[in-house]
Chains A and B, each alone.
Chain A
């Protein structure tokens, strides 16, 4: 399954932590958690956080794809 478009609001929910995510892939968990903290400190960073997470998930889709599919449904 292809990733949702970067403009999909669910990416914003993921980086802000508005929709709680739990992953088993260590770097995806740690990166998402870091971005949650970055966005909590400074909400203006949400767009760049989405960029960073989307770029990571695009590059490592072979690894994180199943978990993202479960998250995005």
Chain B
């Protein structure tokens, strides 16, 4: 009743009210539509054509990504293979270096071998006696030799002076202790064969020689020597 009185007081016709309602509705719908459209579109609101397009694009993208995965896996495989090769080469090199260090006498080494203890009370042994002994051990396959804790190497030398024996310029004296790395049995045999070192040394006055076979001996290392004249030849 109250709205009717307002309408009549404003001299409104019923159609005017309806027109107003229409425009209220229009404004309301426009705003609602704008609000709905401004929110991000969801897949459910898309047409079949749009969805098909999206699927096609996604399929292409997926294919491209799969291809990329494959390529990357191939590259990864390549790198792994290369790395494995390099690692094996490196391992080989490290092993070679280790062997060379032991052979050159600049690395400590342990393993089976023999100990030769010589007591020379009357100082009858000379440098060439040691050379004979050591040559015998080398021919029996000795891999490393130390005399009185001096590791023998390529540039080691024995020398006699003033009735004393020098090794690398240092005096060595009885009791001599020679440690040899190699097959204990073979080394022992090489020294004890008839006419061998034992036979040669034992008759000497005051010389007493004891050989013991060891399952584990350790040899000291010497310092590396700088080359003064030699230069490597590249192959």
The answer on A and B forming one complex is no
- Give A residues with C-beta under 8 Å from B: none
- Give B residues with C-beta under 8 Å from A: none
